[in-house]
Structure 1
Amino acid sequence: MTHQNDLSRSRVDATAIAPLIEAQRITRRDAQRGQVLLHPTDFALHAGQRVVLTGPSGSGKSVFLRALALLDPLDGGVLHWHGHAIAHAQIPRYRRHIAYLRQRPALIDGTVEDNLRYPYSLAVYRDAAFDAARAQALFDAAGRGPGFLARATDELSGGEAQIVALVRVLQLDPEALLLDEPTASLDPESARAVETLIAQWFEHERAARATVWVSHDPAQAQRVGERHITMRAGVLEAPASAQADMGALR
């Protein structure tokens, strides 16, 4: 019995220290041209980490983030979530917890509130409900006061649309944010509002959350990240193994 308890405890301990996401030799290719977009890549993201990914345009940063989010099929390798390989049937649930935010968000026609309510119409969120007060509190933190929920999306500026897209994700309580240059096209005020929202979300539950943020702005990279990695021609040019990650947390 003692031996069985020890084995059970070992499994629990292993799960507790497992990365949120661990990529093992993941690859992506252009299906039409056969070009390798992402060379075999190892990467681990632990709870409590804020990672910044930099590199030249066209180097594969977006390809890498979309692969981590399982938005595009992998051509090789495997992703683990909390130490377990992700079965095909688990992908919608995985995407609920590992959220990808792109540079130019897609909003549905209607109001800001319509956009925030939309995710709750999906089967994967059937156990959750829209909370207008919480949504407004997030908008307040971004400097968008009363009445913003009723705004029509076709009247929003680019910065406001990005804030709406971010709040739409944050209200769903993801574990990790994969941020693909979310402020690249924004004015300084809107960019800082986005940074503030993400920082507050992260600090609220730092021990359980993580970010990977693609940025071309060196000053922003210093503000939003503590671990810096680089992508060049589809190759991740920094130690990104689980062992390296654990060392970074000590």
Structure 2
Amino acid sequence: MLITLDNVLSKDEVRQFRAHLDRAEWQDGLKTAGTLAAGVKQNQQLDESAGIAIELGNHILRRLGGHPLFISAALPEKIYPPKFNRYSGGGHYGAHVDGAVMPLPGSHGTLRSDLSATLFLCEPEEYDGGELTIETAFGAQQVKLEAGDMVLYPSSSLHRVEPVTRGARVCSFFWIQSMVRDDGKRTLLFDLDQSIQSLTPQQAKGDPDILQLTGVYHNLLRRWAEV
């Protein structure tokens, strides 16, 4: 399932983020590249232990905690602290698949990457290129969203960032371990939850059909969740 979430951050919040990020000390992205990624990665990243990276990342997590569509789509169990990257001057990230298991910074825990997220922090007209191209069962899909919007997609997907030929592409990115690791099951739960939310306002309070559908949703979640 590939889904976009509008207005994770407001335009004002994006402006505040950019005020910090535009004067931040960016590092060569190769410092965090694995053996395979080193040959296809050309970008800059913010040191994830930097105070501003932690502060901005925590702000994103607070916003997501109150975003119903994110909760419904991701069913998050763990979230990797948001990181930040910048592409300019031909910067790109060739085709790759995100690592399956990642150590969580500042702890002895790990995270299974079920979903990948990219939160755009600049407007599409600020740069040329830079599309996030994701290979799906229905072919390649290119994503280039408005500032403050975010895309969620399976971490198992082959994906790439196209070369940025003008301006700079600034984003936050991170990974989610879902309570339901199977993408097909998670998609079914999402579709059912969205249908229940759409139908509920049209029915009387305590409608037996809505109650039954809600019971089906929770019983499926109970069967499939790994918590």
Shared fold (TM-score greater than 0.5)? no
Which TM-score applies when normalising by structure 1?
A: 0.23
Structure showing greater relative contact order (alpha-carbon pairs closer than 8 Å, 6 or more residues apart): 1
Which TM-score applies when normalising by structure 2?
A: 0.24
